[in-house]
């Protein structure tokens, strides 16, 4: 969280002056640059300046209320995506050495409080792709089939319950095994802030969520007939 905190210690910037959507955009921008090759060590709170502590408390308060709290508490069945592949999906469920992300799956995101999508905010903040079209889907999934990553501990539980070691020795998730128990894995905005690029020690060795870069959900099974993708009528921020 420290990289977000530092941005709001700049003159003229205030966490409380930001809308939930703008605060989310700031989070996306900082998470994108936190790669496996450059994780940032969190500094003990006793070593923070008084200004940093004040901002950290404000950020923590904000992500526990409003859209952030709703996003963590409830998985929105209506989701949005920019680049849908043509189903049926290949469902490789493999991961690369740089990202713990299953391949061949449908990736979607939730609606922000300003009516735009979480991925759209991330797309414009990080990739600036104005050619992608927005699609929507209504998932038919029960709560017990959704695994939510809202904090580092959730990702640790996913890694230790479904362990896999990548070729580079990195501890990761066996997505094939996870797909047997869950239809969807949802990384919340709070999870993006606190879990991505945060190395955590486990009995299996260190683990770190990397490369998701947005509040997002991954579908670990093929689409059902009643879950067809369709062009979204939402206005975009292009």
**Per-residue pLDDT at 86:** 47
**Per-residue pLDDT at 163:** 94
Q: Which of 144, 214, 157, 224 is nearest to 184 (CA)?
A: 144
Query: Angle, to 10 degrees, between the axis of helix 20-32 and the axis of helix 66-73?
Result: 70
- 238 inside domain: no
- 236 inside domain: no
Give the span between the Cα atoms of 44 and 70, in whole angstroms: 29
Domain that holds residue 145: 2-231
- 218 inside domain: yes
Number of domains in the chain: 1
**Per-residue pLDDT at 60:** 93
**Per-residue pLDDT at 16:** 92
**Per-residue pLDDT at 84:** 58
Q: Which residues contact 124 (CB under 8 A, 6 or more apart)?
A: 237, 238
- Residues (pLDDT < 70) of the chain are 32-46, 83-99, 122-132, 235-238
Q: Is 28 helix (H, G, I), strand (E, B) or coil?
A: helix
Contact between residue 102 and residue 93 where contact means Cβ atoms under 8 Å apart: yes
Give the span between the Cα atoms of 187 and 58, in whole angstroms: 22
- 237 inside domain: no
**Per-residue pLDDT at 222:** 86
Contact between residue 80 and residue 234 where contact means Cβ atoms under 8 Å apart: yes
- 109 inside domain: yes
Rounded to two decimals, the pTM is: 0.88
Determine how many CB atoms are found less than 10 A away from the CB of residue 2: 15
- 26 inside domain: yes
Per-residue pLDDT of 12-43, as tens digits, reads 889 999 999 999 988 988 876 655 445 555 55
- 151 inside domain: yes
How many residues appear in the chain?
238
Contact between residue 108 and residue 137 where contact means Cβ atoms under 8 Å apart: yes
- 105 inside domain: yes
Q: Is 9 helix (H, G, I), strand (E, B) or coil?
A: coil
């Amino acid at each position: 969280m420290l990289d977000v905190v530092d941005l709001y210690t700049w003159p003229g910037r205030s966490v409380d002056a930001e809308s939930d959507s703008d605060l989310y955009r700031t989070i996306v921008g900082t998470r994108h640059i936190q790669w496996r090759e450059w994780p940032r060590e969190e500094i003990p709170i006793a070593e923070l300046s008084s200004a940093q502590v004040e901002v950290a408390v404000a950020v923590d308060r904000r992500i526990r209320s409003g859209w952030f709290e709703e996003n963590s508490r409830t998985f929105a069945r209506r989701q949005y995506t920019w680049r849908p592949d043509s189903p049926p999906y290949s469902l490789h469920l493999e991961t690369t050495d740089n990202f713990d992300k299953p391949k061949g799956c449908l990736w979607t995101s939730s609606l922000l409080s300003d009516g735009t999508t979480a991925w759209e905010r991330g797309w414009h903040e990080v990739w600036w792709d104005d050619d992608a079209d927005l699609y929507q889907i209504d998932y038919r999934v029960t709560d017990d089939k959704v695994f939510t990553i809202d904090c580092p501990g959730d990702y640790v539980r996913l890694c230790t319950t479904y362990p896999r070691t990548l070729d580079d020795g990195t501890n990761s998730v066996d997505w094939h095994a996870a797909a047997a128990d869950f239809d969807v894995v949802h990384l919340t905005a709070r999870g993006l802030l606190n879990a991505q690029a945060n190395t955590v020690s486990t009995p299996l060795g260190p683990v770190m969520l990397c490369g998701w870069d947005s509040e997002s959900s991954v579908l670990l099974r093929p689409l059902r007939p009643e879950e067809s993708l369709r062009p979204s009528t939402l206005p975009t921020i292009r």
